[in-house]
Structure formats: C-alpha cells, structure tokens
Amino acid sequence: MADKEKENAAEESAIVEPGEVSTWLTEQGFGHEVMERDHLGIEILRVEPQFLLPFATALYAYGFNYLRCQSAYDEGPGKELVSVYDLTKLSDDADAPAEVRIKVFLPRNNPKIPSVYWIWKAADWQERECYDMFGIVYEGHPNLKRLLMPEDWEGWPLRKDYISPDFYELQDAY
C-alpha cells in the first residue's frame, strides 16, 4: 500500500495549477501549456512558435509592458533549443510587479521564430545574441546579424554539440 500512496502523491505533485496569467490567457482563447513554476513562484508558460506573436501581443495588452530578459538555451545534443521571454507588468502603484516567463521550444535543425522586437524594443540585441550563440532565427527582426562573434564565424558556440575550430585567425586586431 505504501508504494501506491507514493505513486499517487507523485502524480498529484506533477499537476501544475494555472496561475492568474494562464487563466486569463485561457479565457481569451490562447492555447498554451502550463509548466512548473520556478523557485520564485513565477508562472512559466509554453507556447508553440507559430502562436508567439499573438500570444505576446495579448500579454502586452494585458499589461506586460516590459521585456526584462530574452534569452535562449540548448536542452542538449539532438534535443530542442528554447527561446525564453521574462516579462514584467510595470505600473506606478505596484510594489511587487507581476511577472511571467514564456518558453518556446524549437527544432534544432530549423530553429525559426517570429521576432518580438516590434512589441518590445528591448528584444533587439537580446535576439541578436541568441541568434549569434544558438542559431535561432528571429524572423522579422530589423537587423539580425552576428553581435559577439565575427560575421564570418561558422557555427553556434553555445550549442551543446558545437565543436570549436582548431584555429581562428584574428585579422586587423590592432
């Protein structure tokens, strides 16, 4: 019996309750997956790449007017790349502004996603950095080009399956 009780407890803890933002989005007809909250209790929502722009526009209209951070990570060789958006609802009277995190999982072989630059201008250099390091193409970005690496660099240095070149010549360094 103890094993059955442990199994049931594990299943119950795997259920993630939707938060305020997720509930509002569901009421508005925006499909998404509720993921486990982070260690600070921030809601994490998973959205499909083709729905990112309407999803982001709805969040902006709901009051999430500040893109605090846009980043990416690699789940590992052969796995997906993830584009992450940390949003904050800033207002004059908020002591503890509402926050939400959006994650978009992308196929490794063709990681394309719409740019949110036209919603939050802060995405400009952050999307460029994710393009430069992971090879995620942010379609519609006004100036998507290498930011940290030389323009002729081959590959995406922060991918977990990246093999660095034996030698790269720095030209006109001085």
Domains of the chain and any CATH numbers:
15-111 (3.30.460.80)
Q: At what angle do helices 52-61 and 20-27 cross, to 10 degrees?
A: 110
For tokens 């958006």, the residue is: 85
In angstroms, rounded to a whole number, what is the distance separating the alpha carbons of residues 72 and 164?
A: 20
In angstroms, rounded to a whole number, what is the distance separating the alpha carbons of residues 54 and 112?
A: 16
DSSP state of 56: H
CA 122 distance to own-chain centroid: 14
Please state the pTM of the whole predicted model.
0.84
- Its sign, for the CA torsion 156, 158, 163, 165, is positive
Tokens of 43: 């809601």
Q: What pLDDT was estimated at residue 1?
A: 47
Q: Which of 35, 84, 20, 80 is nearest to 56 (CA)?
A: 84
> Residues in the chain with pLDDT < 50?
1, 9-10, 12-13
CB atoms within 10 A of CB 106: 20
Dump pLDDT digits (tens) for 5-53.
555 544 544 677 888 899 989 999 988 999 998 998 899 999 999 999 9
